[in-house]
């Protein structure tokens, strides 16, 4: 029998690599400060020199920290780039990309999520402050982009699709594997909550808004459509099944655990390669709108979520780091699937996914480094 491993997802992780930044230094809570002042022993001149020396030292540490994070995230984007090359050169056809995406979505990623959630109890994962803080920040950017769309004279359906681009990041395919490698398996708990909010709240909301805009309204058919979408989503099913297994206090049999480990191990490279290959078929139309949506997703969304989880409903530094980092991820591919399914602005969504993913090579390390200025790194 494989031993059951438990780690609190909502609390600060134990002293190990799980509560360290990518550069190996531990994380603890801190409110933003205005910078320390060094006492003067030799008058004003020495004070100024000391403060300048302190500022330059802090700037140097921040720069090296950002470079370190960039180098740690670079392999992820290198695999995405490899997938893009394979799709662009037709070495990987669109059909092959579709089948690889299905394999990752229904099998590899589901196995990884089930194995992690089966080793955590609901009490260890559930964090009401995290849910509400992330929801508040995400809803704020959702409403902001909806307002901008309304001022541009767009209808409700198109505004909902644009808002979805700004609110839903690639948490499943990119975020989960990246956070586990960067911050350890303790990041799975917060990431599952972020994923659950995205899927349950916002994936349901867009279906309701589109059907309302088309005159269907919030009727029984719309509710059935929402419920069916949730029940058929393998990531939600995996989380629920894993938590049920955990609640029964059943150990995972050794062979089954190895099966899940091997299959789940294919999730990271498979998902990243599939992201790249799918980007090869994306067009760059409606560039100005796509740039605005990418900016909203990569900059405004993490900023508003940071306000939610650091000031509005403060979390411990580790959980806050994971949640803000998740908010900084590029636009999710399933937004394009929804836009294509309903025939609403698929080109601008396609361009937003392309631009935000390319820009995230720099913005994700910058965002994680920025978070480092909001928490203490002893």
Cα–Cα nearest to 109, from 326, 264, 317: 264
- Do 141 and 167 meet the contact criterion of CB atoms below 8 Å apart? yes
Distance CA 250, CA 341 (A): 40
Beta bridge partners of 2: 252
Q: What is the mean pLDDT of residues 157-172?
A: 95
pLDDT for the residue 195: 92
Return the higher-pLDDT residue of 47 and 309. 309
pLDDT for the residue 148: 97
pLDDT for the residue 12: 43
Domain boundaries, the chain: 89-371
Return the higher-pLDDT residue of 60 and 318. 318
3-state class (DSSP) for residue 39: coil
**CA distance readout (Å), 298 to 12, 52, 206, 255, 353:** 26, 32, 20, 41, 11
Look at the alpha carbons of 112, 294, 298, 137 in this order and tell me if their dihedral is positive or negative.
Answer: negative
Distance CA 181, CA 13 (A): 15
Predicted confidence (pLDDT) per residue in 99-138, tens digit = 999 999 999 999 998 998 888 888 778 899 999 999 999 9
| Range 89-371: architecture per CATH | Up-down Bundle (1.20)
Return the higher-pLDDT residue of 147 and 239. 147
- Do 345 and 162 meet the contact criterion of CB atoms below 8 Å apart? yes
Predicted confidence (pLDDT) per residue in 208-240, tens digit = 998 888 777 667 777 888 888 888 889 889 989
- Do 329 and 177 meet the contact criterion of CB atoms below 8 Å apart? no
Q: What is the DSSP string of 348-370?
A: HHHHHHHHHHHHHHHHHHHHHHH
Predicted confidence (pLDDT) per residue in 248-275, tens digit = 888 889 999 999 999 999 998 999 999 9
Distance CA 145, CA 191 (A): 24
Residue with tokens 């990518």: 22
Predicted confidence (pLDDT) per residue in 48-84, tens digit = 445 445 445 556 666 777 888 888 899 999 999 999 9
Distance CA 145, CA 158 (A): 11
Cα–Cα nearest to 147, from 300, 364, 305, 357: 300
CB atoms within 10 A of CB 229: 15
């Amino acid at each position: 029998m494989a031993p059951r491993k438990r780690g609190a997802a909502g609390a600060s992780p134990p002293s190990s690599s799980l509560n360290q930044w990518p550069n190996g230094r531990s994380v603890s809570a801190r409110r933003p400060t205005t910078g320390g002042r060094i006492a003067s022993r030799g008058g004003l001149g020495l004070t100024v020199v000391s403060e300048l020396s302190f500022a330059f030292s802090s700037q140097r540490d921040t720069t090296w920290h950002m470079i370190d994070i960039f180098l740690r995230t670079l392999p992820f984007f290198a695999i995405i780039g490899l997938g893009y090359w394979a799709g662009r050169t037709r070495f990987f056809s669109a059909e092959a990309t579709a089948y690889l995406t299905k394999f990752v979505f229904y099998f590899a990623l589901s196995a990884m999520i089930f194995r992690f959630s089966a080793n955590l109890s609901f009490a260890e994962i559930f964090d009401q402050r995290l849910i509400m803080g992330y929801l508040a920040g995400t809803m704020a950017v959702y409403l902001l982009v909806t307002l901008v769309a309304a001022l541009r004279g767009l209808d409700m359906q198109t505004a909902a699709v644009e808002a979805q681009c700004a609110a839903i990041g690639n948490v499943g395919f990119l975020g989960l594997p990246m956070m586990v490698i960067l911050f350890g398996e303790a990041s799975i708990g917060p990431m599952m909550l972020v994923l659950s909010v995205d899927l349950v709240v916002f994936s349901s909301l867009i279906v309701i808004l589109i059907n309302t805009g088309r005159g269907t309204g919030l009727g029984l058919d719309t509710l059935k459509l929402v419920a069916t979408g949730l029940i058929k989503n393998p990531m939600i099913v995996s989380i629920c099944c894993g938590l049920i297994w955990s609640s029964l206090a059943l150990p995972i049999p050794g062979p089954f655990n190895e099966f899940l480990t091997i299959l789940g191990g294919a999730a990271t490279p498979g998902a990243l390669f599939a992201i790249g290959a799918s980007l090869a078929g994306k067009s760059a139309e409606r560039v100005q709108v796509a740039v605005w949506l990418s900016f909203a997703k990569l900059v405004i969304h993490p900023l508003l979520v940071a306000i939610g989880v650091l000031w509005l409903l403060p979390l411990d530094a580790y959980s806050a780091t994971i949640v803000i980092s998740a908010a900084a991820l590029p636009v999710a591919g399933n937004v394009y699937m929804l836009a294509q399914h309903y025939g609403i602005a698929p080109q601008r969504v396609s361009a937003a996914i392309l631009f935000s993913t390319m820009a995230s090579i720099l913005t994700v390390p910058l965002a994680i480094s920025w978070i480092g200025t909001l928490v203490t790194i002893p």
